[in-house]
Amino acid sequence: MNKFSKIIGWVLGIIGIVLGVWCLSKGEASNEGPVNLLLRYSYFLLIAAVVILLGLALIMAAKNNPKSLIRALIILVGIAVLVGIAYALAPGSPAVSVSKQPSSALLKLTDTWLILVYILGGAAILSILFGVIRSAITKK
pLDDT band at 133 (very low <50, low <70, confident <90, very high): very high
- Span 8-18, average pLDDT: 80
Whether 127 shows a pLDDT value over 90: the answer reads yes
Whether 23 shows a pLDDT value over 60: the answer reads yes
Predicted local confidence at residue 123, as pLDDT: 94
- Kindly write down the DSSP assignment for every residue of 41-80, as one continuous string: HHHHHHHHHHHHHHHHHHHHHHHH-TTHHHHHHHHHHHHH
Whether 137 shows a pLDDT value over 70: the answer reads yes
CA distance 123 to 12: 28
pLDDT tens across 98-115, in order?
A: 777 878 888 898 899 899
Mean pLDDT of the chain: 82
Buried b (16+ CB within 10 A) or exposed e, 79-114: eeeebeebbeebeeeeeeeeeeebeeebbebbbbbe
pLDDT tens across 28-83, in order?
A: 555 566 667 767 777 777 787 778 777 777 787 788 887 777 887 888 899 899 99
CA distance 48 to 61: 20
- Span 119-130, average pLDDT: 95
* Neighbour count for residue 43 (Cβ, 10 Å): 14
Q: What is the dihedral of CA 130, 56, 85, 127, to 10 degrees?
A: 10
Angle at 116 between CA 80 and CA 67, to 5 degrees: 35
Total residue length of the chain: 140
Predicted local confidence at residue 27, as pLDDT: 58
Which is higher by pLDDT, 1 or 63? 63
